[in-house]
């Protein structure tokens, strides 16, 4: 696949993925809010479980919830394609960004020297195995255990995170844990929520009272999805934060992000019946932030000597940059796996280099996340040289 085609596909799939994800999550949060704010019906209608008045966009809306069916002379609106589109475009992005790039973002020799094909098998296999285990067994077990089910679910996610961070690059591990949770969410829609709704519709069309059991199963899985939503969002954004995924304790950092997201979601769920939800939310933010600060206090890699050694000239630093970085970060890149000047970063002139000194320090020296998978074989000595040059004020001469 040519770099230009890969970039176009990345743009198209990412755009659709984002729009569909916003629609799916927005609908999910709205319906969850409605369920928690329904009031007992005053109409006396049979099987009405609650009602609510809403004000939006300059008008009043009235809504009832029940199992008695609907006016079949009117269209019935379903909510499913946002979930399917989000998952399908997410899977396409995994292929375009991680699987079709020769493993440049998928493997990291500093973690484990894996053949790209094996890394793809591990990454994709994790999604498949996790979904099968959850769909056929773990989903029901987690629901049946109540609060202990939440503990079990978090422990399993943390176990997968630890395993993937020992095999794949930190960036890929974070993304694939998020993709795993997203797969479980979409699978819940496809395998449980939609079938239960078809049973409900079929019963209503026959004029029968629906069996509440399928609806309860669907509601259980919808709650699972509700708690996975915030963790999935933060893990999808994690590729922008190399300090997180490059840490030697990245699996614990991932666990903090997942736990914080689920905890915030829980507090927002119970805020209607929990008067002290605001202090609880603030405490959750503070505890999560404190945990991240403590975990990030340890360097991502063994410390690089930044201030030791003699004076480093711009010519010496530039020699390393031209040899190890401009292979990709150039207007005329030799390696176009990620296109010319990925993320708009080029090091063709002294001005371009000096303008991005902080980025060079963060990515090439402190976290060693550049080049991806160290594909240009930057040595620790070269990273140390760049670190000394920056510590000395990044002189131009």
pLDDT tens digits along 168-196: 988 999 999 999 999 999 999 999 999 99
Q: What is the pLDDT of residues 116-159, one digit of tens each?
A: 899 999 999 999 999 999 999 999 999 999 899 999 999 999 99
Q: How confident is the model at residue 308 (pLDDT cuts 50, 70, 90)?
A: low
Spatial distance between the Cα atoms of 70 and 336, rounded to a whole number of angstroms:
56
Mean pLDDT (whole number) for 366-376:
77
Tell me what the pLDDT averaged over the chain comes to: 87
* Predicted TM-score of the model (pTM): 0.81
Q: Which residue has the higher pLDDT, 358 or 263?
A: 263
Structural domain spans, the chain: 3-64+77-296, 314-391
**Cβ(169)–Cβ(111) below 8 Å:** yes
Q: How confident is the model at residue 45 (pLDDT cuts 50, 70, 90)?
A: confident
> Among residues of the chain, what percentage have pLDDT more than 90?
44
Confidence at residue 122, expressed as pLDDT on a 0 to 100 scale:
95
Spatial distance between the Cα atoms of 28 and 87, rounded to a whole number of angstroms:
15
Mean pLDDT (whole number) for 50-69:
88
Spatial distance between the Cα atoms of 244 and 261, rounded to a whole number of angstroms:
16
| Among 8-12, 123-127, 270-274, 368-372, the least confident range | 368-372
Confidence at residue 303, expressed as pLDDT on a 0 to 100 scale:
47
Mean pLDDT (whole number) for 240-268:
92
Q: What is the pLDDT of residues 192-213, one digit of tens each?
A: 999 998 988 888 888 887 788 8
Residue 351 reports pLDDT greater than 90: no
Mean pLDDT (whole number) for 346-351:
86
Residue 301 reports pLDDT greater than 70: no
Mean pLDDT (whole number) for 234-252:
89
Residue 307 reports pLDDT greater than 50: no
Residue 305 reports pLDDT greater than 60: no
| Among 265-269, 294-298, 364-368, the least confident range | 364-368
Confidence at residue 298, expressed as pLDDT on a 0 to 100 scale:
65
Confidence at residue 272, expressed as pLDDT on a 0 to 100 scale:
86
Token match 């079709």: residue? 100
Residue 300 reports pLDDT greater than 60: no
């Amino acid at each position: 696949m040519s770099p230009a085609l890969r970039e176009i596909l990345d743009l198209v799939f990412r755009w659709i993925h984002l729009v569909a994800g916003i629609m799916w999550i927005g609908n999910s949060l709205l319906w969850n809010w409605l369920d928690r704010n329904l009031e007992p019906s005053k109409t006396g209608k049979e099987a009405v479980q609650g009602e609510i008045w809403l004000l939006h966009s300059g008008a009043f809306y009235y809504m009832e919830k029940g199992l008695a069916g609907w006016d079949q002379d009117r269209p019935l609106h379903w909510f499913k394609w946002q979930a399917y589109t989000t998952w399908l475009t997410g899977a396409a992005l995994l292929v375009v960004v991680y699987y079709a790039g020769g493993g440049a973002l998928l493997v990291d020799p500093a973690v484990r020297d894996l053949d790209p094909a094996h890394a793809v098998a591990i990454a994709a296999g994790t999604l498949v195995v996790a979904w099968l285990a959850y769909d056929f067994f773990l989903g029901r077990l987690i629901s049946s255990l109540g609060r202990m089910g939440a503990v079990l679910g978090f422990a399993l996610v943390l176990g997968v995170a630890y395993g993937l961070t020992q095999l794949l690059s930190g960036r890929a591990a974070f993304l694939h844990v998020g993709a795993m949770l997203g797969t479980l969410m979409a699978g819940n829609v496809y395998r449980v929520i939609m079938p239960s709704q078809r049973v409900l519709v079929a019963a209503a069309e026959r004029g029968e009272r629906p069996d509440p059991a399928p609806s309860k199963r669907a509601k259980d899985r919808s709650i699972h999805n509700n708690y996975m939503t915030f963790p999935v969002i933060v893990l999808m954004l994690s590729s922008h934060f190399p300090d997180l995924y490059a840490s030697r304790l990245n699996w614990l950092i991932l666990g903090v992000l997942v736990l914080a997201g689920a905890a915030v979601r829980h507090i927002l769920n119970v805020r209607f019946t929990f008067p002290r939800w605001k202090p609880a939310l603030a405490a959750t933010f503070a505890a999560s932030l404190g945990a991240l600060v403590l975990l990030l206090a340890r360097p991502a890699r063994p410390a690089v000597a930044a201030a030791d050694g003699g004076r480093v000239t711009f010519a010496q630093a530039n020699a390393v940059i031209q040899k190890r970085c401009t292979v990709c970060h150039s207007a005329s890149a030799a390696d176009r796996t990620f296109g010319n000047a990925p993320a708009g970063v080029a090091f063709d002139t002294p001005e371009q280099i000096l303008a991005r000194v902080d980025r060079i320090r963060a990515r090439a020296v402190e976290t060693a996340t550049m080049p991806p998978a160290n594909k240009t074989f930057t040595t620790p000595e070269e990273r140390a040289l760049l670190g000394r040059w920056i510590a000395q004020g990044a002189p131009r001469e």
